[in-house]
Amino acid sequence: MRRNMFFVLGVVIALAAALTIGIAVARGQGGSDLQALAPAELLAKVAQNTPQTASVSGDVAWTNDLLGTAALQLPGGDAGLASLLRSGSGRFWYQDGKIRFESQGSGGDLVAVLNGATAWVYSSQSGTATEFTLPAWPAGGGASEGETSTTGVAAGVDLPQKIQEMLDKLAPHATLTVSTDTVGGRDSYLLVLTPTASNTVLGTVRAAFDGETFLPLRVEVFAKGDAQPVLAAGFTRVSYDEIAAGTFDFSPPADAKVEHKTLSLPAELEGMMGGAFGHPSDASTQPETSAEEPAALTLDQAEAQAGFRLAVPAAPSLPFAAAYVIAPPPGGAAGSATGEAKAPVVVLRYGEGFGSMIVVETLVAETQWAQLTSALARVPMLGTPSLFGGHEAYQLGTRLGSIAAWRQADLAILVAGSVSRADLEAFAVGIHE
């Protein structure tokens, strides 16, 4: 299981967090001999076959046009991991749970190496090499070297049926189609998700999978009406040949400033992971966990459970769908106006699918809001509060959606949606207690 976890992590790094950074790669010319697959069949093959890949390497590239010129003003500039939020290119290697990733961009070179219990990150612009000691996997976790992903994850599960059930839930909100393409020099399947909502600014999400290994090779996210992706990431050339073991060695440059940091898992998360991956004999000692979603409530039910008066749109442009109450984690969440108790977070959803809008709110003390706004003020792309739907709000508009946040009486309120700024602002008008 440990190997499979690192493999998934490797794919994420290779795609450079596929939904936050991306690439522009040439379209294939067709002519593929791949057999036709329905979306459910393709997703089942991806789940079953991707973790079987022993080695993968290749050239990767990404572009990010989500924020436009605002991306130039990200905190931290172009140094280190922040450089991945710009366009760039690089190389990626994965083998036996080990990962190496190198990027080249306007912010200098970046090298990240994961080799066992340690990881190195080196930025040529800052001249700093940081060694991270990773948290230990919970006792009883992990799988033997020969264990496949289907042994621990899908044993006793009808995977095609589970995937079909997921697609059935998705069906009212999006259509899925499968075609073929050539990506990274490989015949590939192209899965395309198209939202059905008329008010969303999201156009399509396109994911390419190797037609033989079913490894994810590319992800692209398009705004509605755009011919070029707003976000995309993937391989421009891929190989499954064995990789030399020395590739995963790393020594800081002689002139680098070397730092050492230790990462640890929160106690709650470590307990959850131990319960999920520990031996059956340990089950009685592991805390019970649940993957169930919070219960959908009415507005009155949510208000009663939260313990404070909710702020809601007076005349919402979309019908109310559901409310959810999330209990504050130990040591986290905002306090009440008096600072004596922690308040739950309430999520209100209006509309359905990709065109829905949400309102998130919780009680927050004035001192806590001051601390939060002080942090927000250091994010150049947010600027200073300005009028939004009748509220002095911090705002962020992107080509894939918009978000705004403000304090109203004792409430911190956030509204968001994959909709235009104008639609979100119209929705926010009249939100009151």
Indicate the CATH number for domain 299-428.
3.40.1000
Q: In angstroms, rounded to a whole number, what is the distance separating the alpha carbons of residues 175 and 429?
A: 32
Which is nearest to 235 in space by CA: 206, 210, 204, 203?
Answer: 210
8 Å CB contact between 432 and 308: no
Pairwise CA distance, residues 173 & 351, whole Å: 11
The answer to whether 27 and 246 are in contact (CB under 8 A) is no
Q: What are phi and psi of 358, to 5 degrees?
A: -125, 150
Within 8 A by CB and 6+ apart from 80, the residues are 107, 110, 121, 123, 125, 126, 128
Strand order, beta sheet including 108-115: 174-183, 186-195, 202-210, 216-223, 231-239, 55-64, 88-95, 98-105, 108-115, 118-123, 128-133, 257-262
The predicted pLDDT at position 162 comes to: 84
Q: How far does CA 149 lie from the centroid of its chain?
A: 22
pTM: 0.77
All residue ranges of the chain with pLDDT < 50 are 1-31, 72, 140-156, 268-291, 332-340
Residue 236's pLDDT is: 96
2-167+225-285 is classed CATH 2.60.120: no
Provide the edge-to-edge strand list for the sheet that holds 345-350.
320-326, 345-350, 357-363, 411-417, 401-408, 391-398, 386-388
pLDDT of residue 182: 95
Q: What is the pLDDT of residues 16-75, one digit of tens each?
A: 333 333 333 333 334 468 999 999 999 999 999 988 899 999 999 988 888 765 554 555
DSSP state of 255: T
pLDDT for residue 138: 55
Helices (H), 241-306: 267-277, 299-306
What pLDDT shows up at residue 30? 44
Number of Cβ atoms within 10 Å of the Cβ of 89: 15
Asked whether the beta carbons of 354 and 195 are under 8 A apart, the reply is yes
Phi, psi of 397 (to 5 degrees): -110, 130
In the chain, domain spans = 2-167+225-285, 299-428
Residue 393 to residues 67, 168, 213, 388, 408, Cα–Cα distance (Å): 18, 38, 48, 6, 10
